[in-house]
Amino acid sequence: MAKVLLINPVVREEDEPRHIPYGIALLAAIAVKRGHQVQIYDANAWRKGFDIVEQVCAADDWDVIGVGGLTTTYSFFKKTCEIAKRVAPNSLLLAGGGLFTSMPHDIMKWMPQIDLGCVGEAFVSFPRLLDAIDRGERDFSKINGLAYRGKNGECVLTPVAPTIPDLDELPYPAWDLLPLDIYFKNSQELYSEELYTSKRRIDINGSLGCNLVCRYCWHLGTTGDMVIAKNEDGVDDVKFSYGRTIRYHSPKYIVNLVKTLYERYQVDFVSFIDENLMTMDAYSKRTWIKDLSREWIAAGLQPTCRRDGVEHDEACLGVHFGGTSHATLAKEDALKALYAAGCSYLIYGIESFDPVILKNLGKATTQDANYRAVEICKRSGIRPIPNFIIGFPEESF
């Protein structure tokens, strides 16, 4: 079976490591399930410098060394690619993530060390690639969702890989391959009292994509509207439209995942990182949140402070949670259900209170709707955390 090293870059150099590499951990779990040997070097957690990156790349005869991340990780990404190809020249160097998907031609031009990359969602393309490598194949032109080197070293794109329709098919992330103790040590954040007193917080993901059309947002192929089309130079390139599809886990999947985290790692807080709590509820015709809250309580995850109607303290048992949401999709009955189950905060994408800017953003909201969203959240007992974006083109002091 293929021997794989996945490297998670340093994400925020100025902050402590707080958020597990959820996507990498999912890809690792998928590969392990198919029998491949996978290790993760989490540089974001360990932060040992590039000397250790070099030692890790040289530690085994890796078939594949995979590096991915956001565009903000470019510096680490570039240096890691140089190291990997120098110390492990026989390993295939695989790129991925938003950094690669957003501009595969440029990245492969700027980094000649890269052999190929996953473009867009990799849940289908990555395991197919590993299976081909395990069979000894080196012609990747028949695998959708990849970029590979052509005869002259140029970037060649295969057709877009399909997105998986049912997220519940995904295994749980490979938490055992991550240094969770480092992330648990940095659990506390200032979004709510419950989160600030948390000892073992972890991220979970409820959905992929989004059915909204906020004009400042770019989704990198997770909504199913990514295509390969000719660019201005007549070369096949990645293109995106305003098509939107949201896919989300069932409440049962989420609750079983959190119960596993609670029993295996004694997690006391989970943060939804997908920003779609209210979007999932609206898309499900207002059933998702109520079903989630009911099953959360039935599974014994409800914090004892909410169960008993008392103030939260550090002796509280159970799992609190919070997330990010579209403010004006919130309904008061849904918020009350979330509060009873253990929700302690919601980060609201308010963005602006200026009516012209709000109209241009395409969020289908108004000043009054933003005010009401914050007020009903406060009445439910959940702490609202308003997010604002400063510096839109129409904005002035």
Structural domain harbouring 193: 189-206+249-388
Domain count across the chain = 2
pLDDT of residue 223: 67
- What pTM was estimated for this model as a whole? 0.95
DSSP 271: E
- Same domain (yes/no): 148, 270: no
Distance between alpha carbon 231 and the CA centroid of its chain, in Å? 28
- Same domain (yes/no): 193, 152: no
- Same domain (yes/no): 346, 258: yes
Q: Is the pLDDT of residue 307 over 90?
A: yes
Q: Tell how strand 269-272 and strand 201-204 pair up.
A: parallel
Alpha helices in 235-348 (DSSP H): 251-265, 277-283, 288-298, 304-308, 332-341
Percentage of residues of the chain with pLDDT beyond 70: 98
- Same domain (yes/no): 58, 201: no
Q: Does residue 342 lie within any of the structural domains?
A: yes
- Same domain (yes/no): 260, 375: yes
Q: Is the pLDDT of residue 241 over 80?
A: no
- Same domain (yes/no): 200, 151: no
Q: How confident is the model at residue 239 (pLDDT cuts 50, 70, 90)?
A: confident
- Same domain (yes/no): 98, 153: yes
Phi, psi of 262 (to 5 degrees): -65, -45
Can you tell me the distance from the alpha carbon of 22 to that of 261, in angstroms, rounded to the nearest whole number?
14
Please indicate whether residue 56 or residue 353 has the higher confidence score (pLDDT): 56
Q: How confident is the model at residue 85 (pLDDT cuts 50, 70, 90)?
A: very high
pLDDT of residue 128: 97
Domain harbouring 359, CATH code: 3.80.30.20
Average pLDDT over residues 222-243: 82
Residue 132 has a CB neighbour count (10 Å cut-off) of 17
Q: How confident is the model at residue 326 (pLDDT cuts 50, 70, 90)?
A: confident
DSSP 66: E
- Same domain (yes/no): 128, 258: no
- Same domain (yes/no): 137, 196: no
Phi, psi of 206 (to 5 degrees): -95, -25
Lowest-confidence segment of 23-27, 60-64, 221-225, 347-351 by average pLDDT: 221-225
pLDDT of residue 221: 67
Q: Is the pLDDT of residue 319 over 80?
A: yes
Q: Does residue 178 lie within any of the structural domains?
A: no
- Same domain (yes/no): 139, 195: no
pLDDT of residue 24: 97
Contact 55, 20 (CB under 8 A): no
Percentage of residues of the chain with pLDDT beyond 90: 77
Domain harbouring 98, CATH code: 3.40.50.2300
Q: How confident is the model at residue 280 (pLDDT cuts 50, 70, 90)?
A: very high
Average pLDDT over residues 357-382: 90
Average pLDDT, whole number, for the chain?
93
- Same domain (yes/no): 264, 320: yes
Q: Does residue 153 lie within any of the structural domains?
A: yes
Q: Does residue 29 lie within any of the structural domains?
A: yes
- Reading the block at residue 23, the tokens are 């996507």
Task: Look up residue 361 and give its amino acid.
Answer: L
Q: What is the 3-state secondary structure (H, E, C) of 80-141?
A: HHHHHHHHCCCCEEEEEHHHHHHCHHHHHHHCCCCCEEECCCCCCHHHHHHHHHHCCCCCCC
Per residue in 103-161, pLDDT tens?
A: 999 999 999 999 999 999 999 999 999 999 999 999 999 999 999 999 999 999 999 99
Radius of gyration over alpha carbons of the chain, in Å? 22
Residue 377 belongs to what H/E stretch? helix 367-380
Residues 6+ apart with CB under 8 A from 146: 116, 117, 118, 119, 125, 129, 140, 157, 158, 161
213 CB-side CA count, 13 A: 10
Q: Does residue 243 lie within any of the structural domains?
A: no
Per residue in 156-209, pLDDT tens?
A: 999 999 889 999 999 999 999 999 999 999 999 999 999 999 999 999 999 998
Q: Does residue 222 lie within any of the structural domains?
A: no
Can you tell me the distance from the alpha carbon of 277 to that of 296, in angstroms, rounded to the nearest whole number?
15
Q: Does residue 309 lie within any of the structural domains?
A: yes
Q: Does residue 165 lie within any of the structural domains?
A: no
- Same domain (yes/no): 382, 265: yes
Q: CA angle at residue 208 from 264 to 46, to 5 degrees?
A: 50
